[in-house]
Structure 1
């Protein structure tokens, strides 16, 4: 009987240790995942500079935004269009996942086609398809800063 009790005690202790080890490894894995997510969030911040004014923006977590980020810093002369957006053609195409958003929001940063970067400074309805790249966090004043005509805009990781 004594041998059975020792065997059962040994088995229970072993199972407890295995469970404890599994929990510790899971906690370490989760901590690494949380750290990577935090680092990923930090790299998703974008600074948009127009003249002496800067705006912060957040990039989407998609292939288009990642490919755009790899090309930064980037200064483009953006052309006025329709009194609601500035656009510039990129040298290289980016991956696309176009859809019709229905409504464009002030501060949206999108890709039209595969190589036209568009920064919107007014909210309006649209029937066109775009791929989301990011969004200006606080677009107030964007209309006044962009004004009319062409303008140089710098995009860089913040």
Structure 2
């Protein structure tokens, strides 16, 4: 190979791989959750919701609006699912899933009560308090009306059923 070709080939590879890298802001609209009552059809700037999820905790039932992303698609393939979620930090319930899900983690800055997220690739987290965070999560969805969620979850481990509506 000629010396010129040997120099150009690595430069072309670097250039092409830089074009393939995603440079979007991780907190784009596809990762944000609109206020309850908004739909993608009513406002095209909102994310597309693929389905809604029913979450049963004891005698309480909550509805989650799910995002349309690969993590949610993989999670829905495992439903219905009844799991025991453990308490952590007085603000969340979590469970380690038996297998990994696709991720698209970003730092949300503020966790909202009712957020359903994935920590790492296999830890499902349901938050029942609002707080600031420096951790990175993959957004799955949000409970439409988290009123009564903290009470339903309590402060101990709790069985929770996730199923599509």
TM-score normalised per structure 1? 0.73
**Structure whose residues are more often helix by fraction:** 1
Q: How many angstroms apart in 2 are the aligned matches of 1:127 and 1:60? A: 22
Q: How many angstroms apart in 1 are the aligned matches of 2:51 and 2:133? A: 26
Q: How many angstroms apart in 1 are the aligned matches of 2:132 and 2:84? A: 25
Q: Which residue of 2 aligns with 1:143?
A: 150
Aligned length: 119
Q: How many angstroms apart in 2 are the aligned matches of 1:59 and 1:65? A: 7
The CA deviation string for residues 48-84 of structure 1, in whole angstroms up to 9 with x for no partner, is 0001110011111100011100100001100000000
Q: Which residue of 1 aligns with 2:59?
A: 52
Q: How many angstroms apart in 1 are the aligned matches of 2:80 and 2:128? A: 21
Q: Which residue of 2 aligns with 1:96?
A: 103
CA RMSD of aligned residues (A): 1.3
Unaligned runs of 5+ in 2: 1-40, 42-47
**Greater than 3 Å deviation, 4+ residue runs:** none
